[in-house]
Structure 1
Amino acid sequence: MAEEEKSLEDRIRSLRLPNDDEVFGVVESSMGSGHMKVRCKDGNMRTCRIPGRLHKRVWIREGDVVIIEPWQVQSDEKGDIVYRYTQTQVGWLKKAGIWKE
């Protein structure tokens, strides 16, 4: 059991967490053309785009947990999707108490 918790702590440390200007979010719906409606943990509903560097590499669906970087202008309305968590990673975040639904 102690080995399992140690490996969980190591996994959490190696996991990408939001920086100071980034927030967690859950994808609510796809709007097409690489744009998504995302409900963010800070209480805002943002229209977020998938940047070109992620567009073909990462498939994002409704219900996925993502990290959002709000834009400098219209920061409460728009942002960029920076990272998508897998279901396994979301489970690790829940066990560590970082993500609560």
Structure 2
Amino acid sequence: MLGNGRCEAMCIDGTKRLCHIRGKMHKKVWIAAGDIILVGLRDYQDDKADVILKYMPDEARLLKAYGELPENIRLNEGIAGGLDEEDDNAVDDYIEFEDEDIDKI
């Protein structure tokens, strides 16, 4: 995001383009780093584009499953996407109560 309704997007063809967020999306749809967006290229300016649509995470996963996105594209899987649940050194972030403790509460 660059501010003033603009962002910089890395397109699938390897070109980095300055994108303008259309007025219908401005301040209604928030775009973050790592989001998959649909841009409309301009005929008269190759280095600029317009943001048309932001894909939701489930839509982006479907696009990748259908082969519409290249295999090397990493999707934003959320905060827990990179955590390994079978990590032996992980610290449990819950408190275990005995039955007597629960009765006192």
Report the TM-score, using the length of structure 1 for normalisation: 0.65
Identity, in percent, stands at: 32
Q: Name the residue aligned to 2:19.
A: 48
> Aligned pair 1:69/2:40, yes or no?
yes
Q: Name the residue aligned to 2:30.
A: 59
Write the deviation string for residues 8-58 of structure 1: whole angstroms up to 9, x where unpaired: xxxxxxxxxxxxxxxxxxxxxx11111111011122110001011111221
Q: Which consecutive residues of structure 1, in runs of 5 or more, have no partner in the other structure?
A: 1-29
Name the structure with the higher strand share. Answer: 1
RMSD (Å) for aligned C-alpha atoms: 1.1
What is the rounded CA distance, in whole Å, between the counterparts of 2:8 and 2:59 in structure 1?
22
Name the structure with the higher helix share. Answer: 1
Considering Cα pairs closer than 8 Å and 6+ residues apart, tell me whether 1 or 2 has the greater RCO. Answer: 1
Report the TM-score, using the length of structure 2 for normalisation: 0.63
What is the rounded CA distance, in whole Å, between the counterparts of 1:95 and 1:73 in structure 2?
33
1:85 Cα shift? Answer: 0.4
